[in-house]
């Protein structure tokens, strides 16, 4: 079998940030890396679950919603995939993630889509952890530019 591109990235050299992982036609996959891979600190399931619900809710309620394809956590628990159509510029994609972090840091109330009927693991949520992850990511993305979106490996 062909080795997929994301497995060709040396994860021992990857640092937190936002990178273009791949481009498929008009779809751009962003690697929103939140912690250093293989460093022993990983995102916890309840926190990333809440972060996911809030991330997806926020970006799908912006003027860019028709061009948002996917938001989801990485199985390795080091970040998220964010997939958009190329109608959203890379600079705007960075802004969307930065805005999302602000939204999550300031969010209060019931997590969208977190009832038993709406969610397959509705008891596994942590707003405090999601807020911490948003705070950390927002610090990482201060001054982030399109020029930094290329893996520096």
pLDDT higher at 77 or 11: 77
- Identify the band that residue 153 occupies on the pLDDT scale cut at 50, 70 and 90: low
* The pLDDT value given to residue 60: 98
CA distances from 72 to 1, 78, 143 (A): 25, 12, 24
* The pLDDT value given to residue 7: 79
Where does 10-137 sit in CATH, by number?
A: 3.30.1360.80
Q: Name the nearest CA neighbour of 53 among 106, 4, 7, 122.
A: 122
CA Rg value for the chain: 15
Does the structure show a pLDDT above 80 at 149? yes
Q: What is the pLDDT of residues 104-116, one digit of tens each?
A: 999 999 999 999 9
Residue tagged 């982030």 (tokens): 144
Q: What is the pLDDT of residues 9-57, one digit of tens each?
A: 888 889 999 999 999 999 999 999 999 999 999 999 999 999 999 999 9
What angle do the packed helices 45-59 and 90-106 form, to 10 degrees? 120
Round the average pLDDT of the chain to a whole number and report it: 96
Domain boundaries defined on the chain:
10-137
Q: Sheet of 17-24: strands edge to edge?
A: 17-24, 27-33, 79-85, 68-73
Q: Rounded to an integer, what distance in angstroms lies between the CA atom of residue 73 and that of residue 41?
A: 15
What does the block give as tokens for 29?
Answer: 């996959």
Give backbone dihedrals phi and psi of 116, rounded to 5 degrees, phi first: -55, -40
């Amino acid at each position: 079998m062909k080795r997929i591109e994301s497995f060709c990235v040396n994860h021992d050299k990857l640092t937190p940030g936002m990178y273009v992982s791949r481009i498929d036609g008009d779809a751009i996959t962003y690697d929103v890396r939140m912690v250093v891979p293989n460093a022993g600190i990983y995102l916890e399931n309840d926190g990333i679950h809440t972060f996911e619900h809030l991330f997806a809710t926020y970006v799908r309620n912006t003027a860019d919603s028709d061009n948002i394809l996917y938001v989801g956590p990485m199985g390795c628990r080091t970040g998220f995939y964010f997939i958009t159509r190329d109608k959203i510029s890379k600079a705007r994609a960075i802004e969307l993630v930065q805005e999302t972090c602000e939204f999550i840091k300031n969010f209060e109330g019931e997590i969208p889509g977190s009832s038993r009927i709406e969610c397959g693991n509705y008891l596994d949520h942590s707003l405090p952890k999601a807020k911490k992850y948003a705070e950390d990511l927002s610090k990482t993305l201060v001054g982030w530019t399109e020029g930094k979106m290329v893996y520096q490996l």
